[in-house]
A and B are shown apart, each in its own frame.
Chain A
Amino acid sequence: MMNHPLVKWIDHRLPIITLMNKELNEYPTPRNLNYWWNFGSLAGIILVIMILTGIVLAMQYTPHKDYAFDSVERIMRDVNFGWMLRYIHANGASFFFIVVYIHIFRGLYYGSYKAPRELLWMIGVVILIVMMATAFMGYVLPWGQMSFWGATVITNLFSAVPVFGEAIVTWLWGGFSVDNATLNRFFALHYLLPFVLVAIVVLHLWALHRFGSNNPLGIDAKGPQDKIPFNPYYTIKDAFGLGVCLIFFAWFVFFAPNYLGHPDNYIPANPLSTPAHIVPEWYFLPFYAILRSIDNKLLGVVAMFASIFVLFILPWLDRSPVRSGKFRPIFKLFFWVLVLDCIVLGICGAKPAEGKWLYISRIGTFWYFLHFFVIIPLLGILERPRPLPASISEPVLKAPAE
């Protein structure tokens, strides 16, 4: 193909074929990546699925407070395969977060945020934030009870900003309550942000390809024997991973499409009737728990944002020269405690913020920040890491692959 005259003609003037060959085909990749490295490409594919189903949904959806709910029901009942599009889109958002959260914890465990990949990591955190904004606004679009009240609660957080709070909220709403103007702008932004995401993902990959993937040993490649070309090795491995992911995904879409949703969102939005419990989508629950664990509204909001923003400075909080948690026995332990902490916070987020749940979420929040601001910096100084292997190919060649 490369030798076809037309291809050569184009490539000479715009070396896009050379670029693709270099970055997708020959691209040298550590030979020892395990299956945790599948989740990046999975996230990219889900983003594409979300955009494709979203565009088709948008062809039938009406962003007006009097018609939005009906138009979604029309998609479910009268549009050919509309139910499938919508269930793919709604569950796709959940899977997007599952995959990205695993991807992030992979990075945390193997120290992928450390030099020279700090900027790659920070761009990843930006992706997480934009994703959250996109999903939050998407959830408002069907204009059910949870859409409406979720939007009301979350936008109201900004009223905690000193002095300008109320003005900011009015500005966000485009009025004096969550109303048609809010729905309209959320739709406009929900359509826009995924494409912004695509652009940020390109930057993410660009930064990735500068130094290449980290690997389970966390040591740099010593030479060509440590690397293999991306294609066919990782293309086929990623394809297999995609197959497994799609099996789980299809199970939800076809057999439990509303399991991850909230029943109240099948009740049309009603500004006069507040649901007994307003809960956000599951992927926001840990952050919601942090928000509600603090009595002061402003401090709660600050803590919630800080819980994400702390990731930006993580590369400088962790001073340990060893990347991979494999060689850091104490770090490894605290890593799993953090995973547990996040799950516990998630459960707290779903419970009413009172009694023992409030207690637990306070402990969880405290631990979360303790982990990043105290434990991680201290471990960098105090922990004695285990000896590192001399090169990637050495343990790979000696021990059977893990």
Chain B
Amino acid sequence: MKKLIVPAFAAALTLGLSLAPSQQAVAAEGVAVPQQKWSFDGPFGHYDKMELQRGFQVFREVCASCHGLKYIAFRDLAGLGYSPEEIKQMAEDYTITDGPGDDGEMFDRPGKASDRYPDPFPNDKAAAASNGGAIPPDLSLMAKARPDGANYLYALMTGYEDPPADFDLLEGLHYNAYFPGHQIAMPSPLFEDGVTYGDETPATVDQMAHDVTAFLMWAAEPKMEERKETGIKVLIFLVIFTVLLYAAKRRVWRDIH
């Protein structure tokens, strides 16, 4: 019987591997992106809270002037290690349009922990008008919405360079080595010391790109730590249980052969 288990798994694996092309097909349009090291890689991966806080700072001070983050409410920032007071403070820095009030008019009020992160533009038309016709996409799910998400985001942030001499760059677009087609409407968002980190980490472009990518991964998959921790427990249980079942099976079948 052992002879058969091996081909069974081999078949399953082959099947599994034959799926890989569906992802590569898409990646193939762009350029292969260099692989970075991430704290959230692998089955024991976790988020580094300081890194997430730095990433959030980059998002807030740089990206948020163009991009929304609509699936994240201020209260979710507890996942970055902020206390309820800090979150309340942070939310109050924003002005949220609410209503209509009892007089039938919309009104402005300070943000609350339960508010979603406010969009920079009132609508897509306004977003396009301010960005030369391109709409900056919401970033909440961005890290899962591109092949090899995290590595791609990092590559995109650090991939601005001068176009090759024979490259026909359209007016208002920017050359990026990793964006599919290489012409992107987003100007390079990161500059050395574009933010001042509270923990005195030097704000190099690489550092900021790494931090903001980690933050966006968290925003896309806030339950990842819970998921992987649960997964380890489930797997330990299943392996033990399956070994016991195998022993039981051997025992029941002993008298058959």
A240-B242, A247-B238 known; A276+B12 contact, CB < 8 A: no
- How long is the Cα–Cα vector from A401 to B149 in the complex, in angstroms? 49
CB-nearest residue of chain A to B17: A343
Partner of A254, one of B76, B144, B228, B242: B228
- How long is the Cα–Cα vector from A230 to B140 in the complex, in angstroms? 52
Q: List 29 A-B contacts (CB under 8 A).
A: A35-B4, A73-B141, A76-B223, A77-B76, A77-B223, A84-B230, A87-B227, A98-B12, A98-B16, A102-B11, A233-B256, A236-B249, A236-B252, A243-B245, A250-B235, A251-B235, A254-B227, A254-B232, A254-B235, A258-B144, A263-B26, A263-B144, A264-B145, A266-B145, A279-B22, A282-B18, A282-B19, A346-B18, A346-B19
Q: Is the CB of A232 within 8 A of B21?
A: no
A31 contacts the other chain (CB 8 A): yes
Q: Which residues of A contact B167 (CB under 8 A)?
A: none
Q: Contact mask A84-119 → B, CB, 8 Å, 1/0? A: 100100000000001001100100000000000000
- How long is the Cα–Cα vector from A87 to B7 in the complex, in angstroms? 27
A84-B230, A101-B15, A236-B249 known; A350+B22 contact, CB < 8 A: yes
B25 contacts the other chain (CB 8 A): yes
Partner of B256, one of A31, A98, A105, A339: A31
Measured CB to CB, the residues of B under 8 A from A are: 1, 3-5, 8, 11-12, 14-16, 18-19, 21-26, 29, 43, 71, 76, 137, 140-141, 144-147, 149, 180, 220, 222-223, 226-228, 230-232, 234-235, 238-239, 241-242, 245-246, 248-249, 252-253, 256-257
B interface SS class? helix
Q: Which residues of B contact A239 (CB under 8 A)?
A: 245, 248-249
Q: Which residues of A contact B249 (CB under 8 A)?
A: 236-237, 239-240
Q: Which residues of B contact A258 (CB under 8 A)?
A: 144
Q: Is the CB of A277 within 8 A of B245?
A: no
A253 contacts the other chain (CB 8 A): yes
- How long is the Cα–Cα vector from A232 to B249 in the complex, in angstroms? 9
Q: Is the CB of B242 within 8 A of A244?
A: yes
Shortest Cβ distance from residue A290 to the other chain B in the assembled complex, whole angstroms: 16
Q: Can you add 10 more A-B contacts, CB < 8 Å, to A77-B223, A233-B252, A254-B227?
A: A35-B4, A84-B227, A102-B8, A236-B245, A250-B238, A263-B23, A343-B14, A346-B19, A350-B24, A400-B257
Q: Which residues of B contact A253 (CB under 8 A)?
A: 231
Q: Is the CB of B19 within 8 A of A247?
A: no
- How long is the Cα–Cα vector from A62 to B203 in the complex, in angstroms? 43
Partner of B1, one of A105, A244, A279, A401: A401
CB-nearest residue of chain B to A87: B227
Q: Which residues of B contact A351 (CB under 8 A)?
A: 21, 25
Q: Which residues of A contact B223 (CB under 8 A)?
A: 76-77, 83
